[in-house]
Amino acid sequence: MFPQEFDQRLEQSKARGYADLAVLLSIAAVVAAVHLMTNGRYGLHRDELQFLSDARHLDWGFVAYPPLTPFLEHISLAAFGLSIVGLRLFSVIAQAAVIVVTGLMARELGAGRVAQVTAALAVVLSPLSLFNGTEFQYTSFDYLWWVLIAYCTVRLLKSENPRWWLAIGAVVGLGLLTKYSIIFFIAGILGGVVLTNARRYLKSGWFWGGIALALLIFLPNFLWLVRHDFISYHFLQHIHKRDVGNGRADGFLRDQVLVCINVFAAPLALTGLVFYLRDQRYRMLGWMYLIPIALFYFAKGRGYYTAAAYPMLLAAGAAGGERVLALLSARSRRIITAVFIGGLAACGAYVCALVLPLATSGPLRDFALKNNGELREEMGWNELVKTVAGIRDSLPAEQQASLGVLVGNYGEQGAIEMLGTAYHLPQPISMTNSAWLRGYPTPPPNTLIVVGFSRESADRAFTGCRLAGHNGNAFGVKNEESQDHPDIFVCGPPRKPWPVFWQDYQNFG
């Protein structure tokens, strides 16, 4: 080939690459726009209220999770205040990035533009991926880190440039600062290295440099865990025992198809897994899927924990499927493509109606609220805070002078702390997760408005309790607050001295 021809082909390849990237960015932009238009239609989720509370008390660790997610919410809070759309912006950006990176991963595996778009759309229309753009959750960023690690691994194995281990290590470090369950994916990475010819990297300084970089990024949180006697480990033990006891870990294998990916994308994911396992160069990625799946299954993890492992399968499935289709007749290609795209779109429409807050009234809203428990948990927080403020205002002046609002869970804590400022409510007293570490006021209040307790538990913990109000929401939606904590009480101090009470009522939730 003459140098001039080579240069022309190189320029054409770059032009195609830029055009492919523009298409992927366009898809991501459309999805982001949909989220930005719909994310403000209900209220804050109870989990978001905990992140907001922790965002006001930044530290190198929190009981329920590492520090990165509250840090990002701290930035959003500083930039947008209590704008729900603004507070969820980083989640939207994370999901958009996942869409683009999945398409780019497919391209690195040899996929053309149509296959890249197919992989991207399969991710867009997957339930958990779509959900990640609707709320501010650590799963949004955990999902992104898994996908970025897979992309960097593809680049490593394709280029055989060991410097990619530094990128992998950096993203692993960010993952450890986001959600501890990424340890299962790390096991998949290490297992994939040992079980394939990628074991040659064990002799590379770049591999060990990547490990060192990951540990260095994670170090501040690790030191926080040491100082707090690994309290997050005890929290995770408690939550896991609760989830298994409540049956939340049941149906793990079923959820791989119904929650982690679009049902019609399942054959694509299976194709991708076969592609990896049969290809000596990329076999490591097959183990990066199989090992976390096996570990979560035997450890009785919840089904959605593995959702972030699927974009790398979908990328490979799109690339491999494109090659298979090329061997078929034009008629067969059209039929298979029509069935796949039609099924993906139909299932995706159902997922959108289920996950997105598309409407504030009518059948679409009723369908979403009936079938999506996460949306129901966005209801009623403003009403709760207003009711508590009304109870405060009804008390005699001497009781208002030494008043505390004691809450039973982190949603109530975040609501009183974040939304209660508009009513000049005191900072909530909470025994849940990191709020317990912050302690109770000094001097402690003599009168308590108690939220999140049953009558029996309130009488057992506090003196002189009386029913003062009820907790609900304007939509009449049944959720945890309206069903499990419908009553609000006014009580005296705890029956035990405050230090003893505080130790006895530490709560993980």
Question: What DSSP element (H or E) covers 490?
Answer: strand 487-491
Give me the mean pLDDT over the 167-190 stretch: 98
**374-386 residue pLDDT tens:** 999 999 999 999 9
pLDDT exceeds cutoff 70 at 4: no
- 4 in any annotated domain: no
Give me the mean pLDDT over the 280-287 stretch: 98
CA distance 100 to 188: 23
In this structure, the answer to whether residues 42 and 122 fall within a common structural domain is yes
Question: What DSSP element (H or E) covers 491?
Answer: strand 487-491
- 397 in any annotated domain: yes
- Predicted TM-score of the model (pTM): 0.94
Among 197-201, 210-214, 335-339, which stretch is predicted with the lowest mean pLDDT?
A: 335-339
CA distance 361 to 351: 18
Query: Residue 387: which of 399, 370, 405, 373 has the closest Cα?
Result: 405
Range of the domain at 498: 381-504
- 209 in any annotated domain: yes
Please say which residue of 355, 373, 403 terminates a domain: 355
What single-letter amino acid sits at 369? L
Q: Please report how many Cα atoms fall inside a 13 Å half-sphere around the Cα of residue 216, on the Cβ side.
A: 9
SS3 35: helix
pLDDT of residue 472: 86
- Of the chain, the percentage scoring pLDDT greater than 90 comes to 92
- 369 in any annotated domain: no
- With tokens 């991501």, the residue in question is 28
pLDDT of residue 1: 55
pLDDT of residue 439: 96
pLDDT of residue 132: 96
Three-class HEC string of 36-101: HHHCCCCCCCHHHHHHHHHHCCCCCCCCCCCCHHHHHHHHHHHHHCCCHHHHCHHHHHHHHHHHHH
In this structure, the answer to whether residues 58 and 191 fall within a common structural domain is yes
pLDDT of residue 15: 74
In this structure, the answer to whether residues 251 and 321 fall within a common structural domain is yes
| Count of other CB atoms within 10 angstroms of residue 246 | 9
- 365 in any annotated domain: no
In this structure, the answer to whether residues 317 and 391 fall within a common structural domain is no
Q: Sort strands 447-451 and 403-407 into parallel, antiparallel or unpaired.
A: parallel
Question: pLDDT confidence of 3, banded at 50, 70, 90?
Answer: low
In this structure, the answer to whether residues 393 and 351 fall within a common structural domain is no
| Residues 272, 309 contacting (CB under 8 angstroms) | no
pLDDT of residue 10: 55
In this structure, the answer to whether residues 388 and 346 fall within a common structural domain is no
- Of the chain, the percentage scoring pLDDT greater than 70 comes to 97
Please say which residue of 340, 355, 370 terminates a domain: 355
Give me the mean pLDDT over the 415-430 stretch: 97
In this structure, the answer to whether residues 79 and 183 fall within a common structural domain is yes
In this structure, the answer to whether residues 61 and 210 fall within a common structural domain is yes
In this structure, the answer to whether residues 99 and 58 fall within a common structural domain is yes
- 345 in any annotated domain: yes
Residues shown for the chain: 509
pLDDT of residue 8: 61
| Count of other CB atoms within 10 angstroms of residue 57 | 14
Locate the DSSP E strands across 389-465.
403-407, 429-430, 447-451
pLDDT of residue 17: 80
In this structure, the answer to whether residues 290 and 166 fall within a common structural domain is yes
- 45 in any annotated domain: yes
pLDDT exceeds cutoff 70 at 315: yes
Give me the mean pLDDT over the 183-201 stretch: 98
Overall domain count for the chain: 2
pLDDT of residue 79: 96
Structure tokens given for 209: 């440099």
Please say which residue of 288, 320, 355 terminates a domain: 355
**464-497 residue pLDDT tens:** 999 999 998 888 889 999 999 999 999 999 999 9
In this structure, the answer to whether residues 129 and 259 fall within a common structural domain is yes
What is the average pLDDT value for the chain, to the nearest integer?
95
Give me the mean pLDDT over the 166-185 stretch: 98
pLDDT of residue 367: 94
Among 12-26, 301-315, 334-348, 360-374, which stretch is predicted with the lowest mean pLDDT?
A: 12-26
CA distance 189 to 289: 9
| Residues 177, 137 contacting (CB under 8 angstroms) | no
In this structure, the answer to whether residues 427 and 461 fall within a common structural domain is yes
**26-57 residue pLDDT tens:** 999 999 999 999 999 999 999 999 999 999 99
Give me the mean pLDDT over the 301-317 stretch: 97
- 374 in any annotated domain: no
Question: pLDDT confidence of 224, banded at 50, 70, 90?
Answer: very high
pLDDT exceeds cutoff 80 at 13: no
